[in-house]
Amino acid sequence: MSASAEATVLITHEVGLHARPSVKFTKLAKTFAAEVEVALAANGPWFDAKSIVKVMAAKAPKGTLLHIRAKGDGAGEAVVALAELVRRDFDESGDHARTA
Amino acid sequence: MPGPLRLQGISASAGYAEGPLFRLDRTALHYTVKATAADEKAALEAAIGMATGRLGALIETADSEAAGILEFQIAMLEDDALSGPAFAAIDADQPADAAWRRALDAEIAGYETSDQDYFRARAADLRDIRDQVLRALSEDDESAAPAGAIFYGEDIAPTRFLETDWSSGGGIALKAGSAASHVAMLARSRGVPMVVGLGASPANPVGVALLDAEHGGIVLAPSKAEIEAFRRSSSSFAARRDKAETYLARPAVTKVGTAVRVQVNIADPSDVDGIDIATCDGVGLMRTEFLFGKTLPDEETQYRAYRKVLEWAGEKPVTIRTVDAGGDKPVPGFTVEEGNPFLGLRGIRLSLARPEILRVQIRALLRAGIHGNLKVMFPMIAVADEYARAAALLTEEQTGLAARGVAHKMPPLGIMVEVPSVAIAPEAFADVAFFSIGSNDLTQYVMAAARDNASVAHLNSVRHPAVLRLIASVVAFGRERKIPVSLCGDAGGDPASIPALLEAGLRDLSVAPAQLAMAKAAIADVTV
């Protein structure tokens, strides 16, 4: 079977998808077997969501609409979980000054 | 024997440190080339593993802020995407050290060219990662810094900061560096004095140095008198800081109940991340030169920077100064080489000579104006015509934006009072919305004593009666014509100068964020 899923989510974290948020994001992505990618625009370029080097290089600041897509086993769950993490502000809300 | 040398930078973490200089840039690592590519790969793999292990050990004792930084570095090191190009280069017959260095340098370059401060600051983390692996690859152990040392060099690695025992004092003095770096954040939270942006030093300094990270300076090869004066400032700072913390959350009032507005000076949009807006009355000065650091920033970059600060401040005012390049702040591709730059084409003079650059900034400001309580001021105004020409550019750009249907708002326009001609004859400027006294430049021009020259530092005092009399007369003029007057120079945050400034009639000061608490505490001691 080859499931696939997509979602878009707004990054509200003060420093964007960087440093500590990107550590959490890639760690979570790695827990899924599916191939997961992120992009800053619907038509790409797409970056491997399990690589912190690639995710950081995407340079997604606050206010970016992040596109997430996944293919393979657990694709749906992966996209939902990752979008949820971004929506929850990486569980760091209210602590922005110290998260960078 | 060279005399004392005073270098001026920017405070990234307030405090004082006296100690031996420890040069950060002197380590030469020795790597022994291996026999085969397979051996090179094994060496690199082992070095990455060693560096990861060392970081893991540091996490054990780190607080949550430091642990976040270390976890980020470990995650980067464990990512094959980082080391992949290095292993590929080894296959193409490069030794492991050169392969790793090139791979990481390519990655670092991507961060250094970012138009976002936050991203540029991450280059220091990447350099740290690079150097940790290079150290693990080489055989030499890095020489340890003596206790209480002042680390001096281009930049300092976060792990170097975390490995250092700061309990016996010490500090950080960087030629480059950034107040938005991880190290700067750590230094502020641990109370380690740190200064950035000192620039190149003319000599190869050694020996004891005095780091004054309250005012952002360092004295190399100090004289005995300087050491004594420094120790007095240092102990008075420690006493004031302890007491001042209790004042931070309260509005500033003098001993007899006179309210004083205290705003903050910022140089970088990320400066506001560490400030609680409730503790200040707004931004009295946002410098915009930082945006012009390496390249001329486009309208969008500027718009985002201004908008961020305006949204942070909410209803409180944010006074943004148009680019004040020249003098001691050269910008490649913008400023000109001059024999006497402080008296040359700087501030508004340069902006009016190159209006295409000012126009970009004006459009960004007009657009950002809808996101908060913006005020705009011009630096280095000497005659009324300069103000009129600058204001006319705003009107022109406003017309252009309106014609294109772009949302914008015209802010109140004011001027810096820093050229003596304006302070002596302010009546030429009766139509400006506000005055902001730039005490650093006003003092150096009134006293004819350059502020970056240690040999005339004794003359460069805002408390000279000539300077204070000018300040008082500008305040009186403002009061008569109902034009608000504030002060945004370093003197505003200097507890020793605050009494004289309030006596001169000022009720609105703008200070460095690190001096906010101390300024409020000093105000509370004044009987005006």
Domain ranges of chain A: 4-92
**CATH 1.10.274.10 domain range(s) in chain B:** 37-137
CB contact under 8 A, A96 and B72: no
Kindly report whether the peptide bond that precedes residue B4 is cis, defined as omega within 30 degrees of 0.
no
CB contact under 8 A, A100 and B75: no
Topology of B243-523 in CATH? TIM Barrel (3.20.20)
In this prediction, residue A95 carries a pLDDT of 41
For residue B460, give every residue at least 6 positions away whose Cβ sits within 8 Å of its Cβ, in sequence order, or none.
B443, B444, B447, B449, B450, B451
pLDDT, block means (10 residues), chain B with 528 residues: 74 89 73 86 90 85 80 92 93 91 91 78 87 80 75 84 85 84 78 88 77 91 89 89 86 96 89 89 90 78 95 97 83 81 92 95 98 98 98 98 96 98 97 96 93 74 96 98 95 91 98 87 94
Backbone angles phi, psi at A74, to 5 degrees: 70, 20
CB contact under 8 A, A23 and B72: yes
Give the tens place of pLDDT for each residue, B142-168.
566 778 899 998 888 877 888 788 888
Residue from A22, A38, A59 whose CB has the most chain B CBs within 10 Å, to mutate: A59
What is the spatial distance between Cα B509 and Cα B25, in angstroms, rounded to a whole number?
39
**CATH 3.20.20.60 domain range(s) in chain B:** 243-523
Tokens of A90: 């990486």
CA atoms within 13 A on the CB side of A96: 19
Distance from CA of B283 to the nearest CA of A (A): 18
CB contact under 8 A, A51 and B110: no
Q: Cα–Cα–Cα angle for B324, B15, B489, nearest 5°? A: 30
Backbone angles phi, psi at B152, to 5 degrees: -130, 130
In this prediction, residue B158 carries a pLDDT of 78
What is the spatial distance between Cα B442 and Cα B474, in angstroms, rounded to a whole number?
12
Distance from CA of A100 to the nearest CA of B (A): 7
% of chain A exceeding 70 in pLDDT? 90
Pairing of strands A65-71, A4-10: antiparallel
Of B99, B127, B107, which Cα lies nearest the Cα of B31?
B99
User: Which amino acid would we find at residue B303?
Assistant: Y
Residue-wise DSSP of A9-44:
EE--STT-S-HHHHHHHHHHHHTSSSEEEEESSTT-
Tell me: pLDDT of A29 over 50.
Answer: yes
What is the spatial distance between Cα B73 and Cα B132, in angstroms, rounded to a whole number?
10
Residue set of the binding site of B for phosphoenolpyruvate: 287, 321, 440-441, 451
- 3-state percent helix, strand, coil for chain B, nearest multiple of 5: 50, 15, 35
pLDDT-derived band at A100 (thresholds 50, 70, 90) equals very low
Q: Among A23, A56, A98, whose Cβ lies nearest the Cβ of B65? A: A98
Is B363 within 8 Å of B345 (Cβ atoms)? Answer: no
Whether B182 is catalytic is yes
Question: How many Cβ pairs closer than 8 A exist between chain A and B?
Answer: 59
CB contact under 8 A, A18 and B80: no
What is the spatial distance between Cα B239 and Cα B314, in angstroms, rounded to a whole number?
34
Tokens of B405: 């249907």
Is B173 within 8 Å of B211 (Cβ atoms)? Answer: yes
Which CATH number is associated with domain B37-137?
Answer: 1.10.274.10
Nearest CA in chain A to B117: A15
The model's pTM: 0.59
Tell me: pLDDT of A1 over 50.
Answer: no
Superfamily per CATH, domain B5-20+147-226: Phosphohistidine domain (3.50.30.10)
**CATH 3.50.30.10 domain range(s) in chain B:** 5-20+147-226
- Write out chain B residues lying below 8 Å of A56, CB-based: 76, 122
In this prediction, residue B180 carries a pLDDT of 63
Is B177 within 8 Å of B5 (Cβ atoms)? Answer: no
Q: Among B110, B118, B182, whose Cβ lies nearest the Cβ of A57? A: B110
What is the spatial distance between Cα B303 and Cα B369, in angstroms, rounded to a whole number?
9
Superfamily per CATH, domain A4-92: HPr-like (3.30.1340.10)
What is the spatial distance between Cα B485 and Cα B267, in angstroms, rounded to a whole number?
21
Give mean pLDDT, residues A30-49. Answer: 90
Say which residue, A60 or B361, is predicted with more confidence: B361
